[in-house]
Homo-oligomer: A and B are copies of this chain.
């Protein structure tokens, strides 16, 4: 926690009073918008700026936070679960922002060096594409070179096998599946790289809006699988992006 040490040293050298230091610590890179506390320090602490989850916020709130993030930093900006209205509003003050309607992400590709490493985003069915694309865009914003493999569910397993070389060449895989989620076990049994599993809410009846593939992935008989929340493409892309950078950016 380097920043706290800086403040401590300032106190030590009497460049700062004890009270001032406490005050500094408190407001350290926290910006208050009234309805939200922006955490600008996060890009230092975690290597990626705060991401805005737009569901449950008004379009105006989402757009204001995104615009502030675009204005403040040098890194990428990302808003997830954003509708078109958010994009329209944020575009006014941050015209370089982009929108992907499939994954419902608003983003700014900024401060990203040329893509490195490789993240494979493997997707069981056409209906899983929105979640897969959210993962892919997130990983790209984290600097990854992303390969998309689509519609390779285990009902016709030879479709997956046609992509084995691509799987073997990636550094980390994101596997996105609804229904019974068996694709994760099959893929993780074939490769020796980390697999980030994303259950989707695609299915009906006892699928229970994604609970079945989630349980399936948590109980995979194949090793090397980490699971994220149902439909959490962002979370998977973020974790994959983190892992992809290892040994590259270091």
- In the bound complex, do residue A211 and residue B215 qualify as a contact, i.e. CB atoms below 8 Å apart? yes
Chain B min CB distance to A177 (Å): 9
CB-CB under 8 A from A126, the residues of chain B are: 35-36, 56-57, 61
CB within 8 A of A230: which of B22, B48, B205?
Answer: B205
Q: How far is the CB of A121 from chain B (nearest CB, A)?
A: 14
Which residues in chain A, 63-79, are within 8 Å of chain B measured between CB atoms?
none
Q: Copy number in this complex?
A: 8
In the assembled complex, the Cα of A228 lies from the Cα of B188 at a distance in Å of: 14
Contact B220 A211 (CB under 8 A): no
How many A residues touch the partner, as a band?
35 or more
Residues of B within 8 A of A30 (CB): 156, 158-159, 162
Q: How far is the CB of A214 from chain B (nearest CB, A)?
A: 7
Complex: chain B residue closest to A230, CB-CB = B205
- With the chains together, A127 CA to B198 CA distance in Å? 24
Which 7 A-B residue pairings sit nearest by Cβ, starting from the closest?
A247-B247, A226-B226, A205-B230, A56-B127, A182-B182, A26-B162, A39-B156
Task: Name A's B-contacting residues (CB within 8 A).
Answer: 1, 5, 8-9, 11-12, 14, 17-18, 21-22, 25-28, 30, 35-37, 39, 41-42, 45-48, 50-51, 55-57, 61, 124-127, 129, 150-159, 161-164, 168, 171-172, 179-182, 185-186, 188-194, 196, 199, 201-232, 234-235, 238-239, 242-243, 246-248, 250
